[in-house]
Amino acid sequence: MRLEQAGRIGVPVLDVGCGTGENALYLAQQGHEAWGVDASSRAIRKAKAKSKGRGIPVTFRVADALNLGRLGRTFETVIDSGLFHTFSDPERVRFVDSVGGVLHRGGSYFMLAFCDQEPADWGGPRRVTQEEIRATFREGWTVESVQPAKFASKIHRDGGLAWLSTVTRL
């Protein structure tokens, strides 16, 4: 929401790993052409039902984030709230290539990922360091910023510790 309010979301926008679609629906409600993709057909069914029920047009598709080129189109902005940190190191390389294939040159990729400062005692997904982010987006990208942020979470009283990264495709 803060990125949208700051005028940082270009159109069209792709929410990769969209889950049940709340971010894509929010952006479409703000007037953006929005797409959402997820590997889970169940999540996409729920997202489509929300879109129809709320009367908010969003294109939702079941898709593999490691093969986004199959969408057959490009975007000015790609957002990722909680997907990047789920990938193994080799998958991260494939994911960056995949995002690069659908993001316009000069386009923005915004990523929210659990950070390494999140305590490990509750389990949860793999944590990501700033160095991992910068190394993964080294070639063909500029990492504009990696800032502390929080995930809304049912597990965390005040949100899970995260990095919000702004990355530009060269």
Residue 9 token pair = 């979301």
The closest alpha carbon to 124, from 95, 86, 81, belongs to 86
| Helix ranges, 31-140 (H) | 41-54, 89-102, 130-136
pLDDT tens readout for residues 98-127? 999 999 999 999 999 989 987 776 666 788
The correct CATH number of 2-169 out of 3.40.50.300, 3.40.50.720, 3.20.20.140, 3.40.50.150 is: 3.40.50.150
Q: Can you give the residue ranges of every domain in the chain?
A: 2-169
Residue 134 token pair = 């910068």
Phi, psi values for residue 145, rounded to 5°:
-160, 155
141-151 and 160-169: which strand pairing? Answer: antiparallel
Question: In angstroms, rounded to a whole number, what is the distance separating the alpha carbons of residues 133 and 65?
Answer: 17
pLDDT along the chain (170 residues), means of 10: 93 98 98 98 98 98 98 98 94 97 98 86 79 96 97 74 96
pLDDT tens readout for residues 25-38? 999 999 999 999 99
